[in-house]
Structure 1
């Protein structure tokens, strides 16, 4: 559905653009009151056209009556078309040249100031091409009528030339001024429209950047809080359940260490939201290494194993995604597999990619993590480095998370598209 622009929207955009006020008191008045301006122009045109006609020589009785009635009506009708010069700019131009032809046929050769205003209006409110076309066709029509009347003796050579020359001069002046003003006005309108588009694009870019930053903070906070709290809960439950005071003390100490580490990471992450002038971390918070994640889960009493094959020089962005994938996979196994007896983490490096896999058993359902933010965040992380990630059941009671991350330098993807690796 197309959205209609309101006056308040235009005013707000003009305020943001900081457009200057139109110069001159009269120009601002005409801009605010276009109907009044058109009525005054029409009245002035009627006055300047009828005043010379009053000084014409008297005609014989029948023609004097005809001219006294028809002449003012024709002038009024032609000049009244100026009231539509903004919406139908071609109408006054046609009326102006038709009025000159009427003057020739009525035996009173001459031109009306309507030509000036009509040519100007057509060039400003229509187009330069239409103004020049109307000028050419109008002069040709007046010249043709004047030539025909000259051949038949309807007008003298001097009267015909005066009419044609006055038509050319008035029409040319109005068209030239209108073309100059119209082109400048259209250029200014195009610049203003482009500036408005840039304002809209700037706001859209700001909204996209804010949304991307919120998503990044949400992913980092989820990874920090989810993994750390899962380990702390497991250690606390183990400390409460064991009768061995030494093991309970060690579990409590490990839980406190995990909480302090999570608090440090969270403080570093929340630093980007501060408004003071202190230096803020612009890079993502460094995740725990896969080995540290596995050791933390082992200290919490979970049967986690780590297998690494091959070596490679991993870019920082891929290393960050790799660490978070392992962390989230192990955390989901600890949280959603109550009867887990095996959590296997395997990382394989090759020349062009790194493969990571987290497999666990003890799953009681098939919707593990389906409604949370963890797997969605991992999919976005993998897509950011042009990788692929898949997570789902792998047999009865088993869950498998598999990802393939390329090591070659690529431009980060803008739209995450998870794919099932084959």
Structure 2
């Protein structure tokens, strides 16, 4: 539409200029009708060619120059048809054909000079041709400068977009490395810590009953370690490949309780009924409990730990509290990993001494609204 509007506006000015030039009150040249009609045809053809100026800029520029030359030869003077040529020349420059635009500009100056000199005497010489040449030079230089600025800006945008993509790729790679490290730490750290604790106990108390109990725990823990390793590697593989078994969740909480009980820790559970959890929330809750129990076994010197899971509006709250020393020391990979898991789901993690001593870990994990709504409809 914009192209059509420009074509009609330029054509109207050129036709009106032709009428004023050939039929105006100050016209002193007796032109025959055939020349006038031929000039009008040149105006209409060159104006119509402007419709295709973006698709065929060079061809339109040549047509406009030919029309200007024909107009000058027919009427022995330049006219408003030069406006058609200026628009065509602008397009040629804007499309990047600078050398051709300069050639077309020189050709139009020659045609203008020839037409302007037909009815001019030595006394009436003026600078119209030079003014016309200067005007065309201004058009070519101005459009060229604007085009170069546009290309430089476009190139800067492309470079910025590429840098943004590279930064995004690096960020995603970093997040993926952290996720893999967290999965491996949580999957292996719990059982390996249990193996280490039992092996140390057996070495420090070398009696047959204690050694047998420790070896039994180590055997079971190593078996769980291999299973966790297979599951974790399956999850980390290509998403098109099915994992060997589903990721763990709170439905396997009893395994953590049983494993911790083998090391002499008494574990109690207080589980309130919760809505079905999405797999990522369920896995995060399980891993947080697992890591918290690992820290209790390794650092807290506790005898009792309590696991609480309860709903709180659209969240599920997971709490692990022990009766140990209450001094966790500086945060290690375990606490950092639990915090990262909670925050990656939009939740939070708080750790610190409990109100009655010991140490407490509290994770608040949001349950997405669609899942919560579906659970509500199921009731």
| Fold equivalence (TM over 0.5) | yes
Alignment partners' CA distance in 1, 2:333 and 2:321: 20
Residue matched to 2:324: 362
Residue matched to 1:353: 315
Q: Is the 8 A contact 1:308 1:347 kept in 2?
A: yes
Q: 1:272 to 1:172 in 2, by over 3 A?
A: farther
Question: Is it true that 1:168 corresponds to 2:131 in the alignment?
Answer: yes
Q: Is the 8 A contact 1:315 1:407 kept in 2?
A: yes
TM-score normalised per structure 2: 0.57
Deviation by residue 1:265-319 (Cα, 9 ceiling, x = unmatched): 3355457888x999486x9954673222111101222111112122321111211
How far off its partner does 1:169 sit?
A: 1.3
1:327 to 259, 265, 290: 290
Q: Is the 8 A contact 2:272 2:310 kept in 1?
A: yes
- Worse-matched range after superposition: 176-185 or 307-316: 176-185
Question: Is it true that 1:298 corresponds to 2:298 in the alignment?
Answer: no
Residue matched to 1:307: 270
How far off its partner does 1:250 sit?
A: 4.8
Secondary structure at the aligned position of 1:349 is classed as strand
Q: Unpaired segments of 5 or more residues in structure 2?
A: 1-89, 95-121, 371-379
1:204 to 148, 158, 167: 167
- Worse-matched range after superposition: 204-213 or 344-353: 344-353
Aligned pairs, number: 251
Aligned residues: CA RMSD:
3.5
Residue matched to 1:105: none
The structure in which a higher percent of residues are helix is 2
How far off its partner does 1:204 sit?
A: 0.2
Secondary structure at the aligned position of 2:163 is classed as helix
Residue matched to 2:98: none
Secondary structure at the aligned position of 1:386 is classed as coil
How far off its partner does 1:207 sit?
A: 0.8
Residue matched to 2:142: 179
Q: Unpaired segments of 5 or more residues in structure 1?
A: 1-119, 125-155, 411-422
Residue matched to 2:176: 213
TM-score normalised per structure 1: 0.52
Q: Is the 8 A contact 1:342 1:360 kept in 2?
A: yes
Alignment of structure 1 residues 22-101 onto 2, 5 Å: none
How far off its partner does 1:190 sit?
A: 2.5
Residue matched to 2:207: 243
Q: State the 4+ residue runs in structure 1 displaced beyond 6 angstroms.
A: 271-274
